[in-house]
Each structure stands twice: as structure tokens, then as C-alpha cells.
Structure 1
Amino acid sequence: MSNLLVYSGIVTKTKALEAKSVKSTEYQTIANFESTSDFIAYLKSHPGYGGVFAGIDENLIHRGQVEGMIINCLYQDFSKLYRFSNPDQRKILDIIFLRYEVNILKACMHMVFNQHRTYDLGSITEFFNKHSKIDIAALATSKSMTEYVEHLKGSDYYSVLTSIQKTDITSFDYEMKLDIQYFMKAWKLKDRVLSGDNLKYVTDTLGLEIDLLNIMWLYRSKKFYNLQVKDAYAYIIPITYKLKKDKLIKLMETSTIEEFSGVLNTTPYDFMVPSLANGTIEKVYQSTVLKNYKLHRDKYPNSMAPISYYLYLKRTEIDRLTSALECIRYKLDPQDTLKYITFN
């Protein structure tokens, strides 16, 4: 059977979901909302979110609940595509789920560090239990990180987090370890279960993201935290793609941002250098990764690339909407809000 026939159904399903995405022009409208109730009312009428927010009273719902509902829209779309996919296509979706698993682990962790923070896991528990062996209901009740880590016993994450358990460890340290574990696991898994065009595009999209994150994390560690070289190793994903190992080491060994920029200028990621000076590194990272997913969507139309592109697009959309919610809550000027929720 040709790839066209194998993938036509799920690609068509994905295009129908993508048609409901928030358009670039809509972010201007969102940025001008004066209250969170206006924002929620807008989501109730939006084709991509109306089903989730239908029947919700925008004047009574708590902001934290809204954020959880927006995030859960991503998992709902993933579930729709998973149900529609065949066993071979699910190999890619299982790799993508690893990212969602880490994100939910982080959400539960945030509730440990901030006992006032809530996240409604009820609507995603069934979905999560189908794809993971981790008991998120137990994680969500954790009152300390010791208890939290104990609930992860039997999973890959248990040994990773117990290896850094100390009294001075912050949520940032735990999150970094979870992120690194995800990339290492996904990188190994793709070579074991994928082949052909699917392996090609996953390798390139994942490899690019790893390289860019290593650059971004190293830059931040030097600019904001003044970490020593030996300490910087703890914040590096031990995988190299187009950013070769010798260049990565040189970046770690630089002592100033000027030196860091000089080394970066000798790599395939020299286009990142201006963003170090003007403070747009996060936006350049996001736009570069998204463009790369789109590139592979167009290059490999009869593969899972269009599905991966959409799910990454949806993830960035969720990030933008939750950022917009915060900006509206704190009554930022619309133009300032736009700076947070757009890439350009």
C-alpha cells in the first residue's frame, strides 16, 4: 500500500483540526481584551475551544481552571488523532506523548512547591492512564518532593530525580532533569521504532530542538546565574546534532557573553547571535522550531510529519493563550501583550 493511502486519512483528520487553530490576526483581538471574562467568552465561541468551554460561566470560573482547560485541549486533540491512527502511526504519537507526560509531571510538581496552585487533572486522567503507568492522581496529592518522588517509584523518572535530591534543590533543577530525561528517551526510542521518512523528520526536528535548547540554557546560565563550567554540565542535554561536541564544550567553557557569541558565530546556529544581544532568544527558538516542523510537513506530506507539525503548532498556541491570560489578568497594555504572544 502506498504512503499516500496509508496517511491520507489521518492527514485529512489533522487538517480539519488545524483549520480550527487561532489565526495570527486573532491575537490582536485577544491582546485588546480588558478582562479574563472577555477572554473566556471569546474561547467559548471559538471553533477550536468552544467544545471545552461550552456551558462555562466566564464570570465564576477561576483563572487556574481556565489555564488547565486550555492545556487539556491539546490532550484532547492528541487523543482524537491517536484513536484515528494505526499501530505504526502510533509509534510517533507515543514519542510525542513523552513530552506531555513530562509536562504533566511538572504541573504536579508546581503544586508541591506552591500549595495554593491547582490544576484540574480530572478531565485528562483517563487519557493519561491509557498512555502512562504513572499515577498522576497520587502525584497531585503530594505535599513534599520526597513524597512526590516516591510516587514515581518504578518509572524512569524515579532514579533521575532521586539522584539530585538535596535540601537546596529548586523546582527548576527538577524540571531540567525531567526535560533532559525526555530528550534522551525520545532520541533513543526514535532509532528503535521508526524508519524511512518518519525517522528522518523526527531526527531533524528533535535534533534541532536539542541543539537550540542547549544553546539557550547555556546562555541563560552564564548571563543570569553565572554558573561555573563544571556546574553547567548539569543543564546540558548530552546529545549533539548539528552543534558538534567540540563546539558545545567551547560554549560551556566561555567566561563572557561576548566569548559565547564568538563561539556560536562559528556554528550552524550563528543566526542566533543577534537574539543574545536584543533579548529575543526565546522567540527565535520558538519560531525556528516551528518553521522546521512546517518545512518537514511540506517535505514529507505522506508521513506523520503533518501530524507532528500540527501538534507542535497546537502546543505553541496553548502557550500563547495561557500567556495572554496572564497579560490580561495583570492588565498589560495590548502592545506589550502582543510582544509576549507573537513570535515576530
Structure 2
Amino acid sequence: MGNLFKYASLTTKIRAMSGDLISIDGFKSLCECDSISSAMNELMKYKYYKDAFKNVDVSTLHREDIEQILMLSSLEEFMGLYKFTSGTPRKYLNLVSMYNEMYVLKRILRDILSNRPKSLNLKFYAKHIGAHMDFNIDDLLAANDIPQFIETLKNTEYYNCLNEVYSKGGHTIFEYGLALDTYYFDICFKFAAKELKGTESKDVLSILGTRCDFLNMQWIYRTKKYYNVKSADLYATLIPHYSKLSVDEIKQMAESEDVTAFFEIFEKTYYGKLEARLFKNKPGLEEIFMSSLEYLYTQNKKRDPYSLATLSYYLYARELEISRVTKIIESIRYALPAEDIITTILKLETRRSFA
């Protein structure tokens, strides 16, 4: 009963906001558009996109431009939700805000390490990132190499983990990204274990653990497919948090000879068995990841609607929606047939019901 009073107004607000999410039929209609202009007309039926793309000539935008517009609009929506919350939900949203900040930092790191112009216009992000951190956005914009970038973050919580990577000779986006991810998940797991109780704690821990499980499996899979990494070196690049995978299963996958052997082990894990429940036909690893998360968020929300489960489900649904919209618009730009877009992005033919 305590949670009912604690989350009643927030749950009501999120239910109202969920009415603006694009349904499966809405996505199908978007996929069937034969031009960017007709796709935009379709999107304008939804308040979120009508606001995001007002006064913008979408025909001139590339994928990264669209991603930036949608992310900024998402951050605006997030700030409105943040101001509405207090207590535990606000603490949770602080972690989501941190995730958004880290996304921006990774993009900047990637551009610096690739010696290319910055792919984000950080001036637009100034009021959304670093709000609770002591650094100058102009200094971050001016950073042209890793030492300058890290020095800019000297008074922030990100400095130590990034500086440690640099001090050890780190020179790839993967090394810096892993350090940020590990730091982030450490904080999130502590929050779920100490700040939350009962089912709410268990639900959040299951989501975090699933994200870590799949990040680790995706990296192991890529090393088997694209790189030649020794098992001992591979262990050092994994996030030290697990959920439904045992240490022995991680060890077996890390030491598997190739991709075929990797999937033979995967099929015996919790996620391999869940795959059989969620899919009619065998999907790729990323699709299994996204569907496993969607399944967990959905089940958690059904079981305990007056909790963080409803908030986290909505945030994930918006994240997934933005990803789909971006991919669909890009596919329409390249004149892909509607049937191919639906099959590739929505994957409706392979999915089973989550009910």
C-alpha cells in the first residue's frame, strides 16, 4: 500500500505519456511511407515528433542529425519528468541522467580518437549535461586530444576512471567505454541494493544484470567473430557483474573456439532458453538482447505497476522507439521496400507475444 501512495501520481502521469507512444500498427504505417516527406507527415500525428521536428527541413538531415534532434527532444521530455519526481524516483532518474551524460562523453571520445570533427553540437546539450558537475562546456568543446578531454573533467566523477585508462596507455574507444560502463554499473548496483527494497530492488537488479550479461556476451561474440583475443586477455575486458549467467557459463563462452561453439553454449543458458519462448525463428544476438530487456520490463510492470517498474518501462519504450524511428527514416531515405523495413527493423515475423 505504501508504494501505491508513493507512485500513484507518477504512474498516472506516465500512463498519460504512454498514450503518445507509437503502436505496432503505427510503425507499420511509417514503414510503408514512400518518401521522407510522407514519413514526416506520418510522424507529425504524434505530439513528440511534431514538437521535435518543427521548423526543421528533414530532407536535408542525415542519420546523425536525426539522432541528435531526437536525443535532445528526449532530454527535454526527461527534464519535464525529472521535475515532476522526488525521493526514490528522482534518485533513479539521476542514474538515467548519468547514462545520458556518458553517451555524450563516449561520442566525444570516439570523435577525438578517430581524428574527425565532433558529431554532436554540444552547445545544444549544455543545459542537459554537466548540470551537477563542475566543468566548462566550452572547454569540452575545445578538447582536441585525450589529455585535454580528461583535464576538462578533472572536477567530475568521471575523471578518475578515465585518467586511469589513459595512465595505463589506453588508446581505444573500447577501453574508455568499458571504464565508464564499469563505473556506471557499480553505482547502479549499489543504488538498487541499498536504496531499494523487496520486489523493486529485485526488478532493478534483474534489468541491470541482464544489460551486463548481454554487454559481456556481445563482446565475447565479437572477439570470436572479428578478433583473435586470448581468453586471459578477454576476461580483463568484461564487466564484473552477472545476473542470469554463471561464472562457469561466461568462462565456457570466453574459451569457446569460434562463433559456432559460442552459440552452442549460449543455447544452454537462461537466455538461450528464453529465446525459444520469445521467437519463432532464430534472431541475432542484439535482437535477443533487446527482446529480453523488453520482456523483463513488461513483466516487471505487470507484476508491480506502482513502482519504478512503470517508470523504467516507459523510458525503455521511448529509447526503443527513437531507435526504430531513426532506422526507419534512414531506410526510407535509401528507398528500401516497406516489407524489408518491417522485417529488418520490427522483426514481427520472428517474435512471439510477451503475454
Equivalent position SS for 2:129: helix
Matched, 1:76 2:91: no
How has the CA–CA distance of structure 1 residues 115 and 320 changed in structure 2, closer, same or farther, with 3 Å as cutoff? same
Equivalent position SS for 1:226: coil
How has the CA–CA distance of structure 1 residues 60 and 256 changed in structure 2, closer, same or farther, with 3 Å as cutoff? closer
Residue of structure 1 equivalent to 2:312: 308
TM-score, normalised by the number of residues in structure 2: 0.85
Q: Is the 8 A contact 1:111 1:140 kept in 2?
A: no
Task: Output one character per residue of 1:111-161: Cα deviation in whole Å (capped at 9) or x when no partner.
Answer: 433634532334442233434445554333322233222222233433333
TM-score, normalised by the number of residues in structure 1: 0.88
1:318 deviation in Å? 1.4
Aligned-residue Cα RMSD (Å) equals 2.8
Task: Output one character per residue of 1:199-239: Cα deviation in whole Å (capped at 9) or x when no partner.
Answer: 12111111122112222221121122232212212431111
How has the CA–CA distance of structure 1 residues 289 and 3 changed in structure 2, closer, same or farther, with 3 Å as cutoff? same
How has the CA–CA distance of structure 1 residues 227 and 18 changed in structure 2, closer, same or farther, with 3 Å as cutoff? same
Which is worse superposed, 287-296 or 27-36?
Answer: 27-36
How has the CA–CA distance of structure 1 residues 172 and 343 changed in structure 2, closer, same or farther, with 3 Å as cutoff? farther
Equivalent position SS for 2:245: coil
Equivalent position SS for 1:49: helix
Equivalent position SS for 2:48: coil
Distance 1:270 1:59 in 2: 42
Residue of structure 1 equivalent to 2:330: 326
Alignment map for 1:21-40 (pairs within 5 Å) = 21-40=21-40
Equivalent position SS for 1:126: coil
How has the CA–CA distance of structure 1 residues 174 and 84 changed in structure 2, closer, same or farther, with 3 Å as cutoff? same
Q: Is the 8 A contact 1:184 1:237 kept in 2?
A: no
Matched, 1:338 2:342: yes
1:314 deviation in Å? 0.6
How has the CA–CA distance of structure 1 residues 126 and 316 changed in structure 2, closer, same or farther, with 3 Å as cutoff? same
Alignment map for 1:10-89 (pairs within 5 Å) = 10-59=10-59, 64-89=64-89
How has the CA–CA distance of structure 1 residues 18 and 188 changed in structure 2, closer, same or farther, with 3 Å as cutoff? same
Distance 1:64 1:247 in 2: 37
Which is worse superposed, 33-42 or 322-331?
Answer: 33-42
Equivalent position SS for 2:257: coil
Matched, 1:282 2:286: yes
Instruction: Output the amino acid matched with 1:189.
Output: F
Instruction: Output the amino acid matched with 1:312.
Output: Y
How has the CA–CA distance of structure 1 residues 238 and 115 changed in structure 2, closer, same or farther, with 3 Å as cutoff? same
Instruction: Output the amino acid matched with 2:185.
Output: F
1:315 deviation in Å? 0.8
Alignment map for 1:152-301 (pairs within 5 Å) = 152-165=153-166, 169-271=171-273, 280-301=284-305
Structure 2 unmatched runs, 5+: 349-355
Q: Is the 8 A contact 2:36 2:333 kept in 1?
A: yes
Identity of aligned residues (%): 28
Distance 1:137 1:42 in 2: 38
Residue of structure 2 equivalent to 1:120: 121
Distance 1:38 1:149 in 2: 44
Equivalent position SS for 2:158: helix
Instruction: Output the amino acid matched with 1:317.
Output: E
1:12 deviation in Å? 0.9
Distance 2:63 2:211 in 1: 31
Distance 2:116 2:267 in 1: 44
Q: Is the 8 A contact 1:41 1:58 kept in 2?
A: no
Residue of structure 2 equivalent to 1:142: 143
Equivalent position SS for 1:310: helix
How has the CA–CA distance of structure 1 residues 333 and 16 changed in structure 2, closer, same or farther, with 3 Å as cutoff? same
Distance 1:130 1:255 in 2: 47
1:310 deviation in Å? 0.2
Distance 2:56 2:260 in 1: 51
Instruction: Output the amino acid matched with 2:2.
Output: S
Which is worse superposed, 41-50 or 22-31?
Answer: 41-50
How has the CA–CA distance of structure 1 residues 278 and 88 changed in structure 2, closer, same or farther, with 3 Å as cutoff? closer
How has the CA–CA distance of structure 1 residues 170 and 236 changed in structure 2, closer, same or farther, with 3 Å as cutoff? same
Instruction: Output the amino acid matched with 1:126.
Output: K
Task: Output one character per residue of 1:247-277: Cα deviation in whole Å (capped at 9) or x when no partner.
Answer: 21222122223332333344322237889x9
Which is worse superposed, 228-237 or 326-335?
Answer: 326-335
How has the CA–CA distance of structure 1 residues 130 and 206 changed in structure 2, closer, same or farther, with 3 Å as cutoff? same
Q: Is the 8 A contact 1:36 1:325 kept in 2?
A: yes
How has the CA–CA distance of structure 1 residues 45 and 10 changed in structure 2, closer, same or farther, with 3 Å as cutoff? same
Residue of structure 1 equivalent to 2:352: none
1:164 deviation in Å? 3.4
How has the CA–CA distance of structure 1 residues 57 and 266 changed in structure 2, closer, same or farther, with 3 Å as cutoff? closer
Q: Is the 8 A contact 1:91 1:193 kept in 2?
A: no
Q: Is the 8 A contact 1:36 1:328 kept in 2?
A: yes
